[in-house]
């Protein structure tokens, strides 16, 4: 056999072997992979997933809660806004009422001052006669009786314009002038020498003046206990005339002492 023939024969054999190998390979059976087996990592992964789901659920609940709280706060703010408006309106109304009350108090105070002045003017020439028993109620006869009494006891001729009977032993008389009134008051001490029933002549004070005298008596009693020389009839304390200040509710002496203490 020549060399060329040998080469051709060898080539055929190689091709055959190659085809046989391919066929054999095609006959191989491919089996399924090995079944998956659970591990400890799978349990941990599952727990992690469950935790994530729970967290997600809680997050949604928190989100809903937060939205509810935000809406509630908005509602409260609106309510507060309305409340502030009402409070502002009430404050304004309260200020108006307070102003009216202050004005009203001032008006009442002015009226009291005016009334006090009128009463003082009306009582300017008045005297109160106490202890002189007069059973007769006829005004003219009462005028004559009291006029004669004053002339006889005080040696003063007086002109009585009118009388008012409080009781059979108390009468209010009005004399013609303030000068006559002061003359009678200057000489009233002569009545102390009168035998028999005691008769007193006093000024006809207003209600405010009577209250002032009451407070002065209280003040005088306190000062007496301190050892001071007090003459209440003339409102003198240690030789100094003291007046009661109705507006402050203190004596002028107390007001002066308070001012000195401040300074």
**127 or 63, greater pLDDT:** 127
DSSP per-residue letters across 249-262: TEEHHHHHHHHHHH
pLDDT above 90 covers a percentage of the chain that reads: 30
Flag whether pLDDT at 250 surpasses 80. Answer: no
pLDDT of residue 82: 80
DSSP per-residue letters across 75-90: HHHHHHHHHHHHHHHH
pLDDT of residue 232: 63
Which residue, chain included where needed, has tokens 């006829």?
138
What pTM value is reported for the model? 0.54
Cα–Cα distance measured from residue 31 to residue 28, given in angstroms and rounded to the nearest whole number: 10
- Direct distance between the N- and C-terminal alpha carbons of the chain, in angstroms, rounded to an integer: 155
Cα–Cα distance measured from residue 242 to residue 217, given in angstroms and rounded to the nearest whole number: 11
**φ and ψ at residue 162, rounded to 5 degrees:** -160, 160
**140 or 219, greater pLDDT:** 140
What pLDDT digit, counting tens, does each position of 167-186 carry?
Answer: 889 999 999 999 999 999 99
pLDDT of residue 213: 81
What pLDDT digit, counting tens, does each position of 65-124 carry?
Answer: 777 787 787 778 777 888 888 888 888 889 999 999 999 999 998 998 899 899 999 999
pLDDT of residue 121: 92
pLDDT of residue 45: 65
Strand spans (E) along the chain: 126-130, 160-167, 170-175, 200-203, 230-231, 236-237, 240-241, 244-245, 250-251
Which residue, chain included where needed, has tokens 């008769």?
199
What pLDDT digit, counting tens, does each position of 2-43 carry?
Answer: 555 555 566 556 555 555 554 454 444 445 555 545 555 556
The listed range with the strongest mean pLDDT (50-59, 107-116, 211-220) is: 107-116
Q: Where are the domains of the chain?
A: 122-204, 208-262
Sequence length of the chain is: 263
CATH class of 122-204: alpha beta
The partner residues of 129 in beta bridges, in order of sequence, read 171, 201
Among residues 146, 126, 255, which one has the least CA distance to residue 199?
146
């Amino acid at each position: 056999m020549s060399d060329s023939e040998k080469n051709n024969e060898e080539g055929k054999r190689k091709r055959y072997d190659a085809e046989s190998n391919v066929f054999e390979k095609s006959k191989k059976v491919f089996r399924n992979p090995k079944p998956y087996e659970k591990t400890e990592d799978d349990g941990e992964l599952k727990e992690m997933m469950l935790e994530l789901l729970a967290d997600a659920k809680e997050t949604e609940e928190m989100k809903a809660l937060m939205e509810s709280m935000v809406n509630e706060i908005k509602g409260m703010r609106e309510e507060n806004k309305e409340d502030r408006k009402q409070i502002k309106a009430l404050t304004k109304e309260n200020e108006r009422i307070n102003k009216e009350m202050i004005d009203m108090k001032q008006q009442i105070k002015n009226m009291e001052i005016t009334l006090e002045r009128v009463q003082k003017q009306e009582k300017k020439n008045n005297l109160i006669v106490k202890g002189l028993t007069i059973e007769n109620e006829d005004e003219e006869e009462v005028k004559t009786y009291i006029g004669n009494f004053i002339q006889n006891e005080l040696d003063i001729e007086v002109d009585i314009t009118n009388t008012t009977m409080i009781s059979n032993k108390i009468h209010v008389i009005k004399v013609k002038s303030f000068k006559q009134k002061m003359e009678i008051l200057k000489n009233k001490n002569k009545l102390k020498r009168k035998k028999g029933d005691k008769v007193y002549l006093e000024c006809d004070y207003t209600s405010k003046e009577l209250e002032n005298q009451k407070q002065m008596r209280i003040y005088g009693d306190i000062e007496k206990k301190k050892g001071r020389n007090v003459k209440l009839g003339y409102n003198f304390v240690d030789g100094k005339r003291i007046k009661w200040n109705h507006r402050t509710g203190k004596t002028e002496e107390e007001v002066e002492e308070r001012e000195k203490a401040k300074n």
